[in-house]
Amino acid sequence: MMQNLTKIRLAISTCPNDTFAFHGILNRKVDLLGLDFQIELLDIQQLNEGLFQDRFDVAKASFHAAAILSDRTFVLPSGSALGFGVGPLLLSAKEGDSPGNALANLEFTRTLCPGEFTTAAMLFQLFYGEAIEAGKTRVEHQVFSDIMPSLKERAADFGVCIHEGRFTWADEGLFLVEDLGTRWEIETGVPLPLGGILARRGLAEETLARIQSVIRSSVVYGLEHRDETLPTMREFAQEFDDEVLMAHVELYVNDWTVDLGSEGRKALSVLSKKAIEQRIIPASQSAIEVYQARINRNL
């Protein structure tokens, strides 16, 4: 007799750290514990928008979106991307720009960000909010993979770069204005939380516990079988060079991806506090809550 499987609408990004971490699930290399994952792979802004529309049970999201959706979702302890030296880069189409003069002294510029609710866009708002409010730069949003080409074509003045572009911007003839992650680290002293796995609060407790266990197993499987994950990453990546893909994994997949732990939870708290201080999210917004199993399934 066939087992009745619990269907889970799961969505992750196409970036290498997600396809690496979810390789075990995508290729059924780990025990799925009776869950039937219906998987979509999408751009991060599409993921954020899908969560706002309640399209998914579980999905990767920017922590910016997680802060807004905190009353409707949990952050799962496993699957997150955060750390030191992982932040988005503010790039320029021309040489010589620096944080001191890039935006403050210009009357009007155009800055590209990879989506309204991305953490990259939140960081740009945190650090360059005065320039935005003064009309010195207009923020526009594009799919992350289109930002560097737009800069090269001089269709914009600045761009906030994420994912594989962090490793390839110099080869593309672009120029670094500021590492927004480094600035975050200096100002806060905590790792930068970029994105994590959100789960609907309406899911049954026993289902949530199984989902968390499967995702943790998949992350650990990837870390223990790194070479095996390369074909999965290549299938969806914007950049096909294996060294770049593995450099991406080394940067974004770490102990906090296995489990956020106390330091990861603190970083989420700091992000929410900063966003409230800059009026990016309302002060009445409930804090991001990291899921903690309330039943003992021995998972």
Expressed as residue numbers, the domain containing 236 is: 6-84+192-277
Helices and strands in the chain: count of H runs, count of E runs: 13, 11
Other residues' Cβ atoms within 10 Å of the Cβ of residue 38: 12
pTM summary value? 0.87
176 by DSSP, 3-state: which? strand
Dump pLDDT digits (tens) for 218-274: 999 999 999 999 999 999 876 667 888 888 898 889 999 999 999 999 999 999 999
Active-site annotation holds for 163: yes
**One domain, residues 107 and 166:** yes
Helices 119-133 and 180-188, interaxial angle, to 10°? 90
- What is the per-residue pLDDT for 141? 92
> What is the full DSSP assignment across 69-134?
TTTTEEEPSSS-EEESS---EEEESSTT--TTTTTTT-S-EEEEES-TTSHHHHHHHHHHHHHHHT
Separation of first and last alpha carbons in the chain: 24
Q: 55-109: per-residue pLDDT in tens?
A: 999 999 999 999 999 999 999 999 999 999 888 999 988 776 655 555 555 567 8
User: Where residue 168 falls among pLDDT bands split at 50, 70, 90?
Assistant: confident
- Could you tell me the pLDDT band of residue 15, with boundaries at 50, 70 and 90? confident
Cβ-Cβ contacts under 8 Å for 42 (sequence gap 6 or more):
11, 12, 13, 14, 50
Same domain, 175 and 198: no
- Number of structural domains (the chain) is 2
CA distance 46 to 278: 25
Taking residues 185-202, report their average pLDDT.
95
Average pLDDT, the chain: 88
Residues 213, 179, single domain; the answer is: no
Which of 188, 209, 230 marks a domain boundary?
A: 188
- Among 23, 64, 141, 163, the active-site one is 163
Task: For residues 73 and 202, state if they share a domain.
Answer: yes
